[in-house]
Structure 1
Amino acid sequence: MSIGNSPEDDRPSIGRVLQQARIAAGLTVEEVSSSTRVRIPIVHAIEEDDFSRCGGDVYARGHIRTLARAVDIDPEPLVEQYDAGHGGRPVPTPAAPLFEAERIRSEPRRPNWTAAMVAAIVAVVGFVGFTLFNGDEQVPSTAQVAEGSTPDKTGKPAASKPADPKPVPSESAIAAAPRDKVTVKLSATRGKSWISAKDHNGRLLFDGLLLQGESKTFQDSDRIDLVLGDAGATDLFVNGKKVEDQFEPGQVERLSYTKGDPEAG
């Protein structure tokens, strides 16, 4: 827990700066919480310079940046002030090893070549037996197919019905996001990032590493909760609109979106 600043530092505390900026902007704690997705108790705690509820230094820096942007002030001096009071900024750790260590990895299963070979032999024997048993009956059918369509009673060949045109797939599934659901798409365009996604019931939809060039789309009737291990490496689309937040490389973000989000995409 960090309460206040050291006596040697004459600067106002981080929480005091954020609180004064919020008041000057005419915003309430509830309004800041709604716009940033940072829960109300955490906003109150940070304004009192209590960062213990943030869940660690990485999340504390992310919350400071988010709240500073919400009240229209530069977050970097506040982040530097936080680092100075908490042992300095740590050396960046790659996102993948940090989160993969907590995941249970199952041993890869070796292919059962014996079972595959037995299945193949059974299939071949069955096919040969079926062919020999039905060989005589298949000849007329084959000949009829080769001769083409049987003409109708008028002597005119039956016109073949044109096949229904296949629907042209949309350029992006996110473009047709239904209005009665929340649809979130993540694309790792600038590097790889660990991501976790849950629905409104807390059910885990995905937990893993999104490699550069890969995309994932999640959909729920009410809300999608995200944790991005490297938010700066991803592009985020919510209900068909791109979220324009300027996430920094290596920045961890906890986000939640509903059917009405984003307010401006």
Structure 2
Amino acid sequence: MQEQSIGAMLRAARQTAGLTVAQVSAATRIREAMIHCMEQDDYGQCGGAFYARGHVRAVSRAVGLDPEATVHLYDQQYGGPPQPMPASAVFQADRKIHLPERRGPNWTMALGVALAIVVVFGMMRVMGGASDQVRTGDVRAASARPSVPPNTPITETPKPTPSKTSAKNTVTVRIKAKRSSYVSLHDAEGHKLFAGTLKAGKTSTWRAPEKLNVLLGDAGAVTVHVNGKKVKGLGGRGDVVRRSFGPPKPQSR
């Protein structure tokens, strides 16, 4: 037996028993590739001498060899059996194991930092809100014109004047919408009197001294009266028209 290697003995015994590597693998639950390596005296895939001795014992039993004699021969060829480990090395009850102390998170410090962040954020919000209110108050105080909802006609009635000459210099424009249409009116100085949609069926009147500049988004959708007289020929459906109207001309005697 000593003239043959362990791998040659295992292969010869398997062949004599008429077994295949697959059959030996199924009987021992050892991978076929590992059995091939063992038959070539390659025990590197066994995972160490301890597991290699166990695989040699199992394969020897499967192919009909004496397991103990084969393992003894393996020990002689590959350095002997592993040295037994003393019990004191396994069970070291009298030796204290110093483990690094694991400290939990410092929740007190974390809570303090979180509270500080909340306080700072709240102060910033309060200061920011106060500054916004101051700015808003300044804007409202500086505004001299009253706020008017959008698309709402502004009818400006001229102040009563003692002289008849100022009344004669006033132009009056009345617009009636047959269907909703965009209308814009500015006085002689460029002040906007109205800019928006005049809804269908609604009539609005504007007065201003000297001149009224009128923009019609759809000339065919409205009827315009200037100083009590209907204006004809403004335009057709969908026509955008700009016109300027002045006070009534004095009648010749």
Do the structures match in fold with TM over 0.5? no
Normalised-by-shorter TM-score class: 0.3 to 0.5
Q: Which has the higher contact order (CA 8 A, sep 6+)?
A: 1
What's the TM-score, normalizing by structure 1? 0.32
Larger radius of gyration: 2
